[in-house]
Amino acid sequence: MDLVWYILFALFFFIFVILIKNQPLRPRNFPPGPTPVPFFGNILSIGKRLPDKLLEWKEQFGDTYSIFDGQNALVILNNWNTVRTVFADDAATGREQDCLIRTTPGHDVLPRTAGLAFSDGDLWKTHRRFALSTLRDLGMGKSWLEETIIAEVSAVCQILRDTHVEPFNPKVQLSNSISNVICALIFGKRFELTDPKFSQLTSSMAEHVEGAPIDKLLQAFPCLLWFPNPLRTRLQHLRQNAGRIADFLKEQIRNHKHGDRIKSTTAPDYLYAYQREAEKGGNDSFNDKQLLVSLFDLLLAGTETTATTVLWALVFMLENPDVLRAVHEEIDTKVGRDQMLTNAHRGVLPYTEATILEVQRCASMLPLAVPHKARVDMTVEGFTIPKGTFIAANLFAIHRDPRWWNNPEKFDPVRFLDADGKLIRPEAFAPFSTGKRACPGESMAKRELFLFLANLFRCFNFKLAPGANITHKDYTCSVTLCPKPFELIFVPRFGA
């Protein structure tokens, strides 16, 4: 009996030590926040609606607070002025480098510390500068990009007309056509919207983004990688997905190198510009590994974000038929129904553009943008943030902050118009984030969103399929907020 008690005592003592060792602790003078539990941090309190929980904690702990995902602390910034100051600082430009979906011990699907979105330091600076100038050279003031986007919108509108007012989930076709724009930009190629292989690829991209929470969970509990379980199986599937996208990109690079490029446009593309830069020599970071991951980042960032915003726009138009009616009226009276809308029409369609901005504000589809990491010890709002701490801008909260927005829960495009009906950009509007790591695709994305959405609005009325229901509260939450799958009836407003 004594031995049993002895073993039990030793076991409890062992568990106690493990719990104490794994109790996440806030360093001195660190932002306050909810009490974490051993191993899990605050993960278990979050539930299915992360943005709502983060708003609750903001009420409780103030504008700058911290939470733990497993053992890692994440500082959440909810005040726009703080975000602007912190993200302008070079010290806050670090990024998380570990990603289980992208890398496997001994075999990296996509090499870590490479690319644009998850690299940092000098490598990131060099390649971000290159990306910004190349995207600007390829896109700015060039008609080919606008023509490419309009061709894609026309193709997708035709597919939607061909549904003959039958219920249809437009997600795959919209993602394919939006992905075609970034494919044209990065390697000058387009794919048929109904091509099953291409549809599989864009679905893999969506799954890759949705998989981020699994990655986080397995990083918090690496022991789950040691034995078969559903999370490990899911991770393997996500890695295969990432591998499939990487293989697709390698094929494009090979074809390009072998001069087998399909010239759908006369413009040179990103890949061409990159290879020219590499040939110049003088900087060996312009290598094949960096090229592959940069293309991966551009393809995913350029497809998922824009496609999800378009889906959100459809949801908000269903919920706000008066707004859609006002958009139709503006387009019909200022331009007319019988021509495709181009960038030249932006100036005469301020209400339509304001509607798109309001969709971005209300959706806040990247609710925490992409978290940054402190590269050195920092002081933020009087708190000490040690080197290596993750820092996130809560764009979802900023876009609902009553200090900046009247009646923030209301979908109201007029907040983006001045008294003369001209478009304004309120200060705390930051769907593309701000500062040194702000989205390099912003100007391209804005153009795409206008051309896709204004033309979809021009062409269709949207109705829910009988018995179906979707509201802006029905979303899935990973890195992005994405409306749950829904079917719509696309009612053409006029003949083709």
Task: Say whether 99 counts as a known binding-site residue.
Answer: no
Structure-token pair, residue 369: 């943008």
Please tell me whether residue 366 binds ligand HEM under the rule CB under 6 A.
yes
Q: Does 301 contact ligand HEM by CB under 6 A?
A: yes
Task: Supply 249's token pair.
Answer: 């990109």
Question: Is residue 305 within the footprint of ligand HEM (CB under 6 A)?
Answer: yes
Does residue 293 touch ligand HEM according to CB under 6 A? no
Q: How far is the CB of 355 from ligand HEM (least distance, A)?
A: 15
Single residue of 103, 219, 241, 309 touching ligand HEM by CB under 6 A: 309
- Residue 258 tokens, joined: 């072998």
433 binds ligand HEM (CB under 6 A): yes
CB of 33 to ligand HEM, least distance (A): 21
Which phi-psi region, left, alpha or beta, contains residue 107 (left: φ > 0; alpha: ψ -120 to 50)?
Answer: beta
Q: Which stretch binds ligand HEM (CB under 6 A): 207-215, 412-420, 444-452, 454-462?
A: 444-452
Residues from 379 through 398 that contact ligand HEM (CB under 6 A): none
Question: 124 to 183, contacts with ligand HEM by CB under 6 A?
Answer: 128, 135, 182
* 365 Cβ contact partners less than 8 Å away, ≥ 6 residues apart: 305, 308, 309, 312, 431, 480, 481, 482
Burial 368-389 (b: 16+ CB within 10 A, else e): bbbbbbbbeebebbebebeeeb
Residue 437, interface with ligand HEM (CB under 6 A)? yes
| Residue of 174, 391, 445, 451 interacting with ligand HEM (CB under 6 A) | 445
Does position 364 interact with ligand HEM (CB under 6 A)? The reply is no
Say whether residue 369 binds ligand HEM (CB under 6 A). yes
Q: Identify the residue among 74, 214, 444, 482 touching ligand HEM (CB under 6 A).
A: 444
Burial per residue of 406-423, b for 16 or more beta-carbon CB atoms within 10 angstroms, e otherwise: eebeebbbebbbeeeeeb
Q: Report the distance separating Cα 4 and Cα 2, nearest Å.
A: 5
Of the two residues 120 and 215, which places its CB atom closer to ligand HEM in the complex?
120
> Out of 54, 76, 117, 488, which residue is the one contacting ligand HEM (CB under 6 A)?
117
Stretch touching ligand HEM by CB under 6 A, among 225-233, 243-251, 437-445, 459-467: 437-445
Question: Minimum distance between the CB of residue 435 and ligand HEM, rounded to whole angstroms?
Answer: 7
Residue 31 is a binding residue for ligand HEM (CB under 6 A): no
Q: How far is the CB of 44 from ligand HEM (least distance, A)?
A: 27
Between 235 and 444, whose beta carbon lies closer to ligand HEM?
444
- Binding region: 439
Q: Which residues are annotated as a binding site for heme?
A: 439
* Contacts with ligand HEM, residue ranges (CB under 6 A): 116-117, 128, 135, 182, 297-298, 301-302, 305-306, 309, 366, 369-370, 372, 431-433, 437-441, 444-445, 449
